[in-house]
Amino acid sequence: MMKLVGSIATTAAFVAVVMSLWRDYGVLVTLKRAFIAYAAFYVVGAALALVFRNGIEEEWASLDKARRLKQRKQREQQARQSIETNSGP
């Protein structure tokens, strides 16, 4: 997840550099804009990654656990039914 955040922040910095050079700003203004874009996207991305890791991911894990339990019960019920039909008269 942090690799994705870093990639997005780097892309934002690159876009800031390209747009600043396209508008013919100076080098210092371009570097300042790139740093601000990188820092802003990195901070926001890291915050969203923490929210995902601590909140949504736990919810997904509990839902996945419930789904697996339901599937296991269905398989056990099917196994019992097949045993009952095979052990008939």
Specify whether the CB–CB gap between 49 and 5 falls below 8 A: yes
Average pLDDT over residues 30-47: 90
CA 56 to chain CA centroid, Å, is 10
Specify whether the CB–CB gap between 20 and 33 falls below 8 A: yes
Q: Is the pTM of this model over 0.85?
A: no
* CA distance linking residue 57 with residue 52, whole number of Å: 6
* CA distance linking residue 60 with residue 57, whole number of Å: 5
Residue-wise pLDDT for 1-22, tens only, equals 778 888 888 888 899 899 888 8
* CA distance linking residue 28 with residue 62, whole number of Å: 50
The pLDDT value given to residue 81: 86
Domain ranges, ordered by start, for the chain = 2-83
